Structure 1
């Protein structure tokens, strides 16, 4: 019996997945229940491991049908809701776009006024015979000026005003005859042609010439003389002259004569090549003709004419008078005019180049001869360099003059605020760092603002011989920070704050202001 049970256990062990369930007294693995006898014959076996469920078959992805989509989306009613939402979104977007456009259109902004060529140009007055006297040994004749034309253009000069081409006793019949030192008519024609090639306009100075001849008792000129003058104008316009400059004391400065000349100029004018009439103001008050369109440019002097050098106080008073005046009848062209010390030469240049209008710069030997410094140094044996280095100082002065002129002309050409921005005179109190008692007699700082939109250019002028610092409360509405554009010493660089700025004697500074956190 014992052997039989052991065999049964071995058989159960050898049978995979089964174990013996004995109903004996041993009680191991026995299962008893009603109607069951705990005998060997009634022993049952059960699986020891539960089989894993079979994996469900993978369902291949298929696109949903229209009915399934509608059912998933919530039914056909949601389709209308979505359409309404999309329409509402686009209506809101269009409304915001229209509101933005309306705000931009209705917001105040500067109006760009198309400028004529003479309103954008820097005029350069020179007398060819004086220039040729200085360089006749090197080039000779009027060719010396022709060689300098590309150099003038590189400086930012847009137009030349040629003086002294005609004899003072020129009559309407011989206006085409030039002065003895200026060269012949073919040479002037060659100069006009070369100027046009270099991109320079040429205005002929016929100021103080008796073009109309003597007047009769009634104050009228001879018709034949007026016809001859008109014929002479036609001759030079055909050669390429861009216009003529007369004085306000000439007989030609009358509405009748200017009206006849305007008809001649319009015959040779085009949209790009418009011919002009420039009037040089020599009187304190200019009486314009009734038809102000007959005159294009009025050349005004900053300083009054005097036989002596004007003091710093006289210069400051003259500048302040023009800064406070509002003369908007005709387009102005500012020139220095009077005599001032060499210390104020650069300051006056900064002034006329930043005022509204077209600057007219008088011939400057330093600017003109800078390109020939190296030639003169290498070829001249008369000029020697002394122990003090005076020659080197002169060369640095010339280079500084050219750098200042170029910086001002190029800044004026590319900056809208300097070209046609608004003008605001800024009177303010200044404090001095000098302990001298002469502060009371020292002229105050002069300042004005050129603005275009959000861009502001501040021009500061210290005419006096004292150091001046700005009062922190002088202009609370202006930005307090800015960046240097240029200065008379060409040594101001980088950013600055107005409360920490100190002006040196006879110094002019141009600063481009900007708001805090703005880089415009």
Structure 2
């Protein structure tokens, strides 16, 4: 019997060792009631209590009591008072908020710069090359591409004039169609230059030829517009508009305009006339855009400011260029890289449409005589590693790259900032070799252009005539600058600004209601 009891005890010890949960938590002390420490007894209730809420009859009894009736009315009154209060607050905010100024009518030729290509062979080795270069042109935020003249004619020989055929040296009609299709997909409009006697002494041959030539221009305009061209350009508008058939050309280009159709532009060019005469021609001829040579013929800041003052009300019909009226490169008039940047800034911030000739975005050097300079497309290509480098040529390449970046930054601002796109203009300062003006639009960022093309530093004292709703702050931020002493993102005082020789600056300050 003793052996059996011993076996039972030993088995109990082994089981206790295998089940640690049943081991006492305090050594050998036995829990009260004979239970081992660590054991928990749970008492599960036999009947679970559930809450069923009020029945419909009970709920209706409670809802009809005077206390609940008063509570409901209080909540209802509070709801409507809150709703009426929010409505009144919204009305007060709307009434007190400044009203947005209505945007003026804008056409595609007002939305960005125009880019002239007079010699397709020099630009891209013919019309087929133009299509290939449209991606590069689009990067400049160009809104209009002006091609030509492309038609066939012998200088000063009206009998050889054929405005409805493309000169084979410039390309083929099928290639022009391809250019139109790709340009339109990129949002670029295409204008065709139909200046009749473009290689000769006078654009319209002789006074006796004007009427007969105008008939040919009108017929050609109709043909090219049907093909998909977006506008027609002619030179010497003063002579052209004197023709008895001028109204026929107007009707061919500007006729059948509706709100649902894209407008076709009639563009004219004039040279050697005053700002007042330019204004009169815009009014009497009805052209959509008039490009003049006022910037190149008037090289004083006072004269240039006066021209802008005279033409500001007609800015949406006005094109500005430096040499563009003669289809010359910018570098013919702006002879240093610094001046090229200066005039790029001036043209892209003036009120009106900036017009450039191909290569102006890189400062392409103009050639002497009538020969067109060959466009350079490989300026981004750096010399191969280990190759012998011409330091002068490499410096020129890097300069062209930098000028193009400057142009692109200005062009991007021009097409997105309302103050520069269609804003109001106020002159601030002018001297024989410098000028400054302010561009403002409603509740948008404001911009100040200041340029000094002189050979010596100049201090500009900016003054704004009393104008309702517009005033100059004490300081402004430098947005873009060619002057090393006026770095971008720095803050300058507007009381006096000193610009170095041949330097330009674009300042920015916010609208404050």
Same fold (TM over 0.5): yes
Q: Distance in 2 between matches of 1:395 and 1:220?
A: 46
Q: 1:288 to 1:254 in 2, by over 3 A?
A: farther
C-alpha contact (below 8 Å) 1:162/1:202 kept by paired residues = yes
Which residue in the other structure is 1:406 paired with? Answer: 408
Question: Does 1:485 pair with 2:470?
Answer: no
Q: Distance in 2 between matches of 1:374 and 1:84?
A: 72
Which residue in the other structure is 1:280 paired with? Answer: 269
Greater Rg, structure 1 or structure 2? Answer: 1
Deviation at residue 335 of structure 1 after TM alignment = 0.7
Q: 1:244 to 1:171 in 2, by over 3 A?
A: farther
Deviation at residue 331 of structure 1 after TM alignment = 1.1
When the two structures are aligned, how many residues end up with a matched partner?
A: 423
Q: Distance in 2 between matches of 1:400 and 1:363?
A: 17
Deviation at residue 462 of structure 1 after TM alignment = 2.2
**Please, what TM-score do these two structures have when normalized by structure 1?**
0.67
Which residue in the other structure is 2:313 paired with? Answer: 328
Which residue in the other structure is 2:122 paired with? Answer: 131
Q: 1:449 to 1:466 in 2, by over 3 A?
A: farther
C-alpha contact (below 8 Å) 1:237/1:268 kept by paired residues = no
Q: 1:181 to 1:395 in 2, by over 3 A?
A: same
Structure 2 portions without partners, runs of 5+: 1-50, 324-331, 365-374
Which residue in the other structure is 2:301 paired with? Answer: 316
C-alpha contact (below 8 Å) 2:180/2:190 kept by paired residues = yes
1:398 match: secondary structure:
helix
Q: 1:515 to 1:498 in 2, by over 3 A?
A: farther
1:213-362 counterparts in 2 under 5 A?
A: 221-222=211-212, 226-249=214-237, 251-254=239-242, 257-266=245-254, 271=260, 273-282=262-271, 283-284=273-274, 285-286=277-278, 288=280, 294-305=286-297, 314-329=299-314, 331-337=317-323, 339-342=333-336, 343-362=338-357
C-alpha contact (below 8 Å) 2:456/2:500 kept by paired residues = yes
Q: Distance in 2 between matches of 1:412 and 1:228?
A: 37
Deviation at residue 303 of structure 1 after TM alignment = 2.3
1:176 match: secondary structure:
strand
CA displacement 1:317-359 (0-9 Å, x = unmatched): 3432223324434611111138344342221111111112211
Q: Distance in 2 between matches of 1:212 and 1:302?
A: 22
CA displacement 1:462-508 (0-9 Å, x = unmatched): 23233345659889942334443323469943242325964332211
Which residue in the other structure is 1:174 paired with? Answer: 162
Question: Does 1:446 pair with 2:439?
Answer: no
Which residue in the other structure is 1:29 paired with? Answer: none
1:372 match: secondary structure:
coil
Q: 1:232 to 1:448 in 2, by over 3 A?
A: same
Q: Distance in 1 between matches of 2:342 and 2:307?
A: 15
2:278 match: secondary structure:
coil
2:292 match: secondary structure:
strand
CA displacement 1:88-107 (0-9 Å, x = unmatched): 44333322222333334xx4
**Please, what TM-score do these two structures have when normalized by structure 2?**
0.68
C-alpha contact (below 8 Å) 1:400/1:489 kept by paired residues = no
CA displacement 1:337-393 (0-9 Å, x = unmatched): 3834434222111111111221101222636756413559569x9xx645xx32232
1:303 match: secondary structure:
helix
Which residue in the other structure is 2:450 paired with? Answer: 460
1:51-62 counterparts in 2 under 5 A?
A: none
Q: Distance in 2 between matches of 1:220 and 1:467?
A: 49
2:211 match: secondary structure:
coil
Deviation at residue 404 of structure 1 after TM alignment = 1.1
Q: CA RMSD in A?
A: 4.2
Deviation at residue 300 of structure 1 after TM alignment = 2.4
2:348 match: secondary structure:
helix
CA displacement 1:414-445 (0-9 Å, x = unmatched): 111111111111138xxxxxxxxxxxx97455
Deviation at residue 267 of structure 1 after TM alignment = 6.1
Which residue in the other structure is 1:92 paired with? Answer: 85
1:4-83 counterparts in 2 under 5 A?
A: 73=67, 83=76
Q: 1:459 to 1:451 in 2, by over 3 A?
A: farther
C-alpha contact (below 8 Å) 1:470/1:498 kept by paired residues = no
C-alpha contact (below 8 Å) 2:195/2:234 kept by paired residues = yes
Q: 1:289 to 1:302 in 2, by over 3 A?
A: closer
Deviation at residue 71 of structure 1 after TM alignment = 7.0
C-alpha contact (below 8 Å) 1:352/1:359 kept by paired residues = yes
Q: 1:97 to 1:170 in 2, by over 3 A?
A: farther
